[in-house]
Amino acid sequence: MTQRTRQEAVALGVAAVLLGTAAAGCAGQQDRAADRQESGSPDASAAGGSGAARAFTLVASGDVLPHASVIKQAKADARMDVGGDDYDFRPMLAGVKPVVSRADLAICHMETVYGENGNYTGYPTFKSPPQVAKALAATGYDACSTASNHTLDDGAAGVRRTLDALDTAGIKHAGSARSAAEAARPALLRAGGAKVAQLAYTYGTNGYPLPAGEPWAVNLIDEERIVADARAARRAGADVVVVSLHWGTEWQPEPDRRQLRLGRSLTAAATEGRPDIDLILGTHAHVPQGYEKVNGTWVVYGMGDQIAGPMVNHSGAEDPRGNQSSIGRFTFQPPAREGRRWTVTKAEFIPQWMDTGAGRVVNLPAELRRDPGRAEYRDAQSAIRAVVLSRGAGRQGLTMGR
């Protein structure tokens, strides 16, 4: 169950709530590729000539969870842009655009589905304005995981609207599908000289059943299936396989036993000595969780909420941790010999904070560099750093970026 915001908690009391890919429009991807070429990507500069295998940077961020207050902010921002859309989420994400747009590949987690014709809602059953997709594309995201406990909040229709909007925005997606054929394909993306496959799965769907006749509508976590899908992606030509998992225990900064067990098992899976999975990205817990290298593979147990309203925890108290998160940034280097593993040669995290008062996502290291005196920024960054490094990731080579 995704936690309510303070405003929604008042309105709803203690109401209880009972979770692929598609071809993306190439125009949006070409525009973002041009932006990246102009801004440069220094971590991926060890490139060969055109078509040669070359290093690339991948960034990933946490849950995009538009509560009612977030939707209200986007509507207010749109009024400032005369002649624009009814909702504008671009200003909300402007603070992290430099990080996202400079990466060779950027992955988000779209936790909610989209509504239509002004029928937009927050907690407990989310239907977000489709303009979120346009903002994600404008920020520089190339793909999003869409498997979550809210994927079926509006049934099959919500899944279709969401994937249609992401397609229109030029963003690829993994985790939910409109057809069996779509569900059987990984999201295949290009980054540097590599073909990257993204797979995505969720622990459940808040009690909502899979749509009748559509068992493929959303991917549920199943260890054997995940490994089989990763191996199929490798056979389809993927050099790097990224798995997004909506998992864990809400409000718990430590990974739970299932996360630890599944992380060990998935990173141990290998074919002819080559690991089947190259990176695991976790979402759902609402708070930052640690990073850790397991069996030689980086596992991000939980990135936290990138976008959310003021969050209320299980005790009914407003909890600032629900607006803290991190961006993971990984530099992949090509193997010395074809068919071997691409290796992460640089691993970084960038602390973020959703300033719910201003309605803006804040890149904390960048803002503190400009204004070191912001105590609330320092406190948030210190809290995020402590959790991210809590499982010894610093000793394994993880550093804080900006």
The answer to whether the CB of 269 falls within 8 A of the CB of 230 is yes
pLDDT on residue 43: 42
In order, the DSSP letters of 69-99 are HHHHHHHHHHHTSTTS-S---HHHHGGGHHH
Whether residue 72 is predicted with pLDDT greater than 80 in this model: the reply is: yes
pLDDT band at 18 (very low <50, low <70, confident <90, very high): very low
Q: Which residues pair with 114 in a beta bridge?
A: 128
pLDDT score for 82: 60
Q: Helix, strand, or coil here: 330? A: strand
Q: Has residue 38 got a pLDDT over 80?
A: no
CB 147 within 8 A of CB 113: no
Q: Is the pLDDT of residue 318 over 90?
A: yes
Q: Tell me, what's the pLDDT at 8?
A: 44
Q: Which residues contact 132 (CB under 8 A, 6 or more apart)?
A: 64, 66, 74, 87, 89, 110, 114, 165
Residues ≥6 apart with Cβ < 8 Å to 153: 112, 113, 125, 126, 127, 206, 208
Q: Which domains does the chain have, with CATH numbers?
A: 6-400 (3.60.21.10)
Torsion sign, CA atoms 286, 330, 29, 217: negative
* DSSP class of 173: E
What is the distance between the alpha carbons of residues 24 and 394, in angstroms, rounded to a whole number?
37
pLDDT band for position 339 (cuts 50, 70, 90): confident
pLDDT tens column, 142-171: 999 999 999 999 999 999 999 999 999 999
**Residue 81 pLDDT level (bands cut at 50, 70, 90):** low
Is residue 32 scored above 60 in pLDDT? no
pLDDT band at 67 (very low <50, low <70, confident <90, very high): very high
Identify residue 133 by its one-letter amino acid code: A
Give CA–CA dist 385/270, Å, rounded: 32
pLDDT-derived band at 79, boundaries 50, 70, 90: confident
Mean pLDDT score across all residues of the chain:
89
- Report the pLDDT value the prediction gives residue 10, as an integer from 0 to 100: 37
Residue 1 pLDDT > 80: no
Mean pLDDT, residues 125-131 taken together: 98
Three state DSSP letters for 136-150: HHHHCCCEEECCCCC
Beta pairing, strands 113-114 & 127-128: parallel
Cα–Cα distance, 165 to 188 (Å, whole number): 18
For residues 358 and 307, give the distance between their C-alpha atoms in angstroms, rounded to a whole number.
Answer: 12
pTM, two decimals, is 0.89
What does the pLDDT look like over 235-293, one tens digit per residue? 999 999 999 999 999 999 999 999 999 999 999 999 999 999 999 999 999 999 999 99
- Asked if the model's pLDDT at residue 345 lies above 80, the reply is yes
Q: 12 pLDDT exceeds 50?
A: no
Cα separation of 344 and 360, whole Å?
31
pLDDT of 24 over the 60 cut: no
| CA pair distance 208, 150, nearest whole angstrom | 9
Q: Binning pLDDT at 50, 70 and 90, where does residue 50 land? A: very low
pLDDT reported for residue 33 = 46
Q: Check: CB of residue 262 under 8 Å from CB of residue 298.
A: no
Average pLDDT over residues 179-191: 95
